[in-house]
Structure 1
């Protein structure tokens, strides 16, 4: 007997989750990742109402087809994670083929003695895809650990249940020579319904949190724009014999320690405050590029004395106590300064020089700036 209440609850939850992913994810932050996630949740909703319809008419093939579609929907979450990370290959075509094959095979074998075997193998493939989801979540890095945690836990449970399903099938076959027919899998179906509810909730939390943040690919596009503008300005400065240009590499000190000492929301507030302080301390004609959440590269058209004043004000502003700061730890920054009169007008050389000096500043304890020296 199929648990109708669990199926209806799952259908309602899936419908609500799909609306949230489309409204708060795709419509407000349209991208390849959010569009794929919206499709995954839409497919989940269709599958969940397929379960309800199967309960109403007592159709095992329809129930099996809905289960196959649901297993395929989880694979599209993995594709969306790759899209959010900016991976070159998304593998959406193999995933789509798997979702279609899963639906057809389970529906075709629902009333045969082979259904239990096909279902367990299909569930094992879905478990392998859940492992890939965990791998993608790990690749997001420690700065996204709180966002990744709900889906990572759900995917871990998915993997565990897929392994248990294979073990259970092997034990049943060894004892009775069969893995049970479709009609005898009521407990597995009920467990699948409850597990699907848990997975959808966890996936919803992770997907919405990631959808509301900026993926790495956006930062790469910004970097390309900054490079083009900065290189053009330096080329014109070289032609005019203008030596009053500098590149600054500004980094928040001890970001890993700050992240470990706080949660994602608190660390995001710290980095947002740091970004405000940096931008507020720099003149309007400075070109600024964000390097991740805790660093900036700046092209600054100022003479030496004015640059020194800007650096002193910036360090003081970052270190100043803020009542809205979510941690009692005193913040500080380190700055690497490479000037045209010391390095030349080549942008790559200026960036390399500034990066070397900021590393030196951090090794000396941070909360300071270091400058490239003029040769000779």
Structure 2
């Protein structure tokens, strides 16, 4: 049922972009409760999303494959048999473990597939993700290779999906994959402590890396991550802005294209936030640097997690300053071109959207404008501008 609350009445319906809206309750407060995690890990209904080179195992073009614990137990055993403190004290840097992440529980699952939290307040089917990439330099590579062979034999119709090029997962599975991919990539690429350089251990169910006090029973170097409050070994999220810019007369939208994109394919401008910069400032700076256009008023539209590797795309809509709308690409060579497009031309092009790696859609006429698909936040920003529903005027209660 549509939300008809105060915010909807005042600002219109909200937007939930692709890769967001996970159906899982993450239960972040139980990530250190190894007793609960141990029970959840081995429960018959618990399911595992497998990743290889960060690509997910899929059963169909639109659905992920989820395997039971019995399929993966030889690789992971039960890392939650002992407490996190005991695991850190038993740490040995020469023994590697595949990245295992507790994704959360699906509270809509039937009771027969559910487990309860220690306080019996929440019940649901548990989901984990597991990286089974057989990295040759890691001690479990032979077991990972064996597991891949077993999966190929037992599930011949399953395949590892190149998700970045193929945005056809259903929304729930796309959101689950986004969390798994971002956290897995961080665990794999940040195996050493940024504070002291020692090898770290994945803890908090895959959402933190700790610098162990002992390595093979020998005391390690003193590390700032073990003292006070710090954020040394936590996953990072890189905020970026992506913006639809409207001309000062409200009839055109600014779009750009990069050289590597398909012919006639355009999108909204985008760029990373810099330290000490607000979202609005980042929008103005990026648009001016890339296109030479000066932006005045900026409003926030919606956001989209983009797990390649770990960005948060903050969607915004801005209005160009009258008299400062001339396009100049000399500041930043990132764009091959930028152009103001009339709303009517863009409306027609919205009927022929396609992914960056896809061919032209059926019905497309050569030479016409091509735009990103609905799974891209750029498409949602463009739609908000040219199809209505956006008010740039200040709203006061």
TM range (shorter): under 0.3
| Greater helix fraction, Structure 1 or Structure 2 | 1
Higher relative contact order (CA 8 A, sep 6+): 2
| Greater strand fraction, Structure 1 or Structure 2 | 2
